[in-house]
């Protein structure tokens, strides 16, 4: 373990929560960012039990002022930023012809612009410490479909944004990559299955087997599996890897 400092957004649940817990093995201090303080405090308690320092910041990354405040509070408490993992930003799965401008703007504001603003705000500290950034996209970036057009479009934009930051990072000494998870069994997905299954005369277990099978994969991924990849990307062993978009989806995307 080092005394390095990592900021993780979306840290209250799902992949973000799993990533924070995994990073506690390697980082001395974790900054947990999300909109729900109650959920964040629960995760923070687990981290403190591991003997790590924790800063909880309740923030909505869609707000333009949030990123600067997050960085200011982090530097005030810990004095450095060594890793930033942009995980926050669920985008609604609404059909291309049904999604309103307001819904498009909300998805862009949180997942794309929130991550962009926070990375820019943290960049001077990341540059000073030769740190690392990870953007979370999704494998829909590589096959956007009409039923979830916004998800695919915004995820593709995230990959492009990460690539642009990585280009600047070559000269500034900041490592930047993006991760494209496939279908992961988060709490949000489990809630969807619990709602969907009885409407179609199925058990949750049957629905849980049905969707991966239709996607051509063996099973849903687990948040902890994605967290392992996140941890690698901010570890010393990955330092020469930058500008990469790493897909982890159980083989759902069949293209080379």
pTM across the whole model: 0.95
Euclidean distance between CA atoms 20 and 234, whole angstroms: 12
Kind and range of the H or E run holding 57:
strand 53-58
- Residue 179, beta-bridge partner list: 136, 246
**Average pLDDT, rounded, for the chain:** 95
175 neighbors 132 (Cβ within 8 angstroms): yes
Q: List, for residues 73-86, the tens digit of each pLDDT value.
A: 999 999 999 999 99
Q: List, for residues 15-58, the tens digit of each pLDDT value.
A: 999 999 999 999 999 999 999 999 999 999 999 999 999 999 99
61 neighbors 33 (Cβ within 8 angstroms): yes
What count of residues does the chain have?
256
User: Where are the strands (E) in 82-131, listed by range?
Assistant: 83-86
Nearest CA-CA partner of 7 in 60, 51, 50, 57 = 57
Q: List, for residues 109-119, the tens digit of each pLDDT value.
A: 999 999 999 99
Instruction: Give all strands of the β-sheet with 132-136 in edge-to-edge order.
Output: 53-58, 29-34, 5-9, 83-86, 132-136, 175-181, 245-248
The pLDDT confidence band at residue 94, using thresholds 50, 70 and 90, is: confident
Tell me how far the alpha carbon of residue 124 is from its chain's centroid: 21
* 213 CB neighbour count, 10 Å cutoff: 11
Domains and CATH numbers, the chain: 5-184+223-248 (3.40.50.720), 185-220 (no CATH)
Euclidean distance between CA atoms 87 and 20, whole angstroms: 11
pLDDT at 147: 85
27 neighbors 78 (Cβ within 8 angstroms): no
The pLDDT confidence band at residue 1, using thresholds 50, 70 and 90, is: very low
Res 233 pLDDT > 60: yes
Nearest CA-CA partner of 55 in 33, 80, 23 = 33
């Amino acid at each position: 373990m080092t005394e390095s400092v990592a900021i993780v957004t979306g840290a209250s649940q799902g992949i973000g929560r799993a990533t924070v817990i995994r990073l506690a093995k390697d980082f001395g201090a974790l900054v947990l960012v999300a909109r729900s303080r109650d959920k964040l405090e629960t995760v923070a308690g687990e981290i403190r039990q591991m003997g790590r320092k924790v800063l909880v910041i309740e923030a909505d990354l869609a707000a333009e002022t949030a990123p600067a405040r997050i960085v200011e509070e982090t530097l005030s408490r810990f004095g450095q930023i060594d890793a930033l993992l942009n995980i926050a930003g669920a985008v609604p799965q609404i059909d291309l012809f049904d999604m309103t401008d307001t819904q498009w703007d909300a998805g862009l504001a949180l997942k794309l612009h929130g991550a962009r603003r926070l990375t820019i705000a943290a960049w001077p500290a990341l540059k000073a410490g030769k740190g690392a950034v990870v953007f979370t996209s999704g494998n829909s970036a590589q096959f956007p479909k009409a039923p979830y057009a916004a998800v695919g479009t915004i995820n593709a934009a995230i990959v492009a944004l990460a690539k642009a930051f990585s280009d600047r990072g070559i000269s500034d000494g900041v490592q930047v990559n993006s991760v494209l998870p496939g279908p992961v069994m988060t709490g949000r997905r489990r809630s969807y299955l619990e709602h969907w299954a009885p409407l179609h005369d199925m058990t949750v277990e049957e629905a849980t087997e049905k969707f991966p099978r239709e996607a051509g994969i063996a099973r849903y991924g687990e948040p902890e599996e994605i967290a392992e990849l996140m941890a690698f990307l901010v570890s010393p062993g990955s330092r020469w890897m930058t500008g990469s978009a790493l897909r982890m989806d159980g083989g759902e995307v069949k293209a080379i």
